[in-house]
Structure 1
Amino acid sequence: MPFDLGPGTAAALAIALLGAAYVRGYSGFGFSAIFIAFAALVTNPLPLIPVVFACEMLMTVFQARGIRGYIDWRRILWLLVGAAIALPFSVSFILSVGEGTVRIIISGIILVLSLVLLSGWTLRARIGPLGHGGVGVLSGICNSAGIGGLPVAAFMSAQPMEAAVFRATMIVYLTGLDMITMPLLWAGGLVTWDTARGIVLAFPMLALGVWLGGRQFLSASPSTFRRFAVMLLLALSLLGLMRAIIRI
């Protein structure tokens, strides 16, 4: 078993992976945040982050056909510019701290951003390239902990966007973000043979979860399911913080 995971832990992570892939297939975001938040409850989540990023890119391949006509490329470009500026510094920081600190950082960021999403916060002013670049910087900072999609999801959910555009733009942005981050994680020693083994083992769960989530997207309101996903993130962040505090 990769990463020296026991059978029980591996089974729990597989179920979490399936659920997170379903959320991604449906809403376009939340996969890494949900899976990493859960992983932080049962193991050290840091070595799993490259696996999560590779999984995100694989899921985009599964979803590419259905999202082509809805992608906001201009928005994605400026978000990625901001993220690329922040990522080298944020990855260097996350690799230098211990497991307990990583747990607190991941859970704390998810908690704050989940509350933002639940608050119904809205943006009335038109957001230009600098605004998108600034959100990209925040996303890059968060992506060193594997949750770079949440700031962007909060930002875009506060604007009037069609559900299909929101979903497609999130999917493509997260793919670009992970492609920038992976070489930095490799340079930091986090990408190993265990990473490759983890990706192979994850593939069946990814395919099934994304397929089921994509079918659900066609028949239900994405805004309703986004609320469910955020409530799940909120619960996981609180559990993660409690476990980290108890261990201090």
Structure 2
Amino acid sequence: MPFGFDPGTSVALAFALLAAAFVRGYSGFGFSAIFIAFAALLTNPLPLIPVVFACEIMMTAFQARGIRAHIDWRRVGWLMLGAAIALPFSVAMLLSVGEDIARITISGVILLMALLLLSGWQLQRRIGALGHSSVGILSGMCNSAGIGGLPVAAFLSAQPMQAATFRATMIVYLTALDLITLPLLWMGGLVTWDTVIAALLAFPILGLGVWLGGRRFLAASPAAFRQSAVLLLLLLSALGLIRALVM
């Protein structure tokens, strides 16, 4: 098995992968954060970060046809500009100071965002290019730890967006973010042949999870979707803090 996992660990990670793919198929984000948070309970999650990024990219291939008409390309572009600025520094920081310190800080920020959104707060004015790029910088700083989608999800959830636009924009943004991050992780020595083997083994599980999550999305109302997205943010931030503090 890749990374020397025993059969029990491999089966547990496969079930976590299916659950995380379902969430991605439903909400458009959360896959990496859920899987890494679970994997950290069983093993060192650092080598798995490139695997989940490769999985994110593969899942977009499953979803591309259904989301194409709903993507807000302008938002994606400005978010990516900020993320591209931050990512080299983010990866260097992760490799030098360790994942746990970064995750405690990041998860704390996301927890505050989620609690603010649960209060019913929404942005009252249109956010321009500078605001989106600034959130992109924060997202880029988070993404080396595998949770770059959470600040963007919190930011977009606070704006009056259609659920289909939110989901499609998150999917495309995360794919672009991972395509930029993977080469940086490779230069840092985190991408190996085990990464490739694990991603290939994950492919059928990803397809099933995304398909099931997509069917659930089609049956959800816009209000239920937004509430689920905010609650997911809260859960993921809490998992990140618990994992970092107790492990």
TM-score by length of structure 1 reads 0.91
Report matched runs for 1:66-85 at 5 Å.
66-85=66-85
Q: Matched residue of 2:44: which SS? A: coil
Aligned residues: 247
Partners of 1:237 and 1:37 in 2: CA distance: 10
Partners of 1:116 and 1:6 in 2: CA distance: 41
Partners of 1:230 and 1:161 in 2: CA distance: 14
Q: Point out where structure 1 has 5 or more consecutive residues left out of the alignment.
A: none
Percent sequence identity over aligned pairs: 74
Match for residue 174 of structure 2? 174
Contact 2:99 2:145 in 1 (8 A): no
Match for residue 200 of structure 1? 200
Contact 1:139 1:149 in 2 (8 A): yes
Match for residue 49 of structure 1? 49
| 1:7-46 residue CA offsets vs partner (Å, 9 max, x unmatched) | 2222111111101111111111111111111112221111
User: Relative to 1, partners in 2 of residues 1:65 and 1:214: Cα closer, same or farther, differing over 3 Å?
Assistant: same
Q: Which is further off, 230-239 or 136-145?
A: 230-239
Letter in 2 for 1:203: F
Match for residue 40 of structure 1? 40
Letter in 2 for 1:210: V
After TM superposition, what 4+ stretches of structure 1 lie above 6 angstroms from structure 2? none
Q: CA deviation at 1:228?
A: 4.0
1:210 is aligned to 2:206: no
Q: CA deviation at 1:182?
A: 0.6
Q: Point out where structure 2 has 5 or more consecutive residues left out of the alignment.
A: none
Match for residue 145 of structure 1? 145
Q: Matched residue of 1:41: which SS? A: coil
Q: Which is further off, 96-105 or 198-207?
A: 96-105
Partners of 2:14 and 2:75 in 1: CA distance: 33
Contact 1:32 1:53 in 2 (8 A): yes
User: Relative to 1, partners in 2 of residues 1:88 and 1:200: Cα closer, same or farther, differing over 3 Å?
Assistant: same
User: Relative to 1, partners in 2 of residues 1:238 and 1:50: Cα closer, same or farther, differing over 3 Å?
Assistant: same
Letter in 2 for 1:172: V
| 1:115-134 residue CA offsets vs partner (Å, 9 max, x unmatched) | 34433331011111011000
| 1:157-201 residue CA offsets vs partner (Å, 9 max, x unmatched) | 100001111111111011111111111000000000110011011
Match for residue 183 of structure 1? 183
Contact 1:79 1:135 in 2 (8 A): yes
| 1:44-83 residue CA offsets vs partner (Å, 9 max, x unmatched) | 1111110111100101100000011111001100000000
Report matched runs for 1:1-248 at 5 Å.
1-98=1-98, 100-101=100-101, 104=104, 107-108=107-108, 110-221=110-221, 223-225=223-225, 227-228=227-228, 230-231=230-231, 234-235=234-235, 237-246=237-246
Partners of 2:11 and 2:203 in 1: CA distance: 14
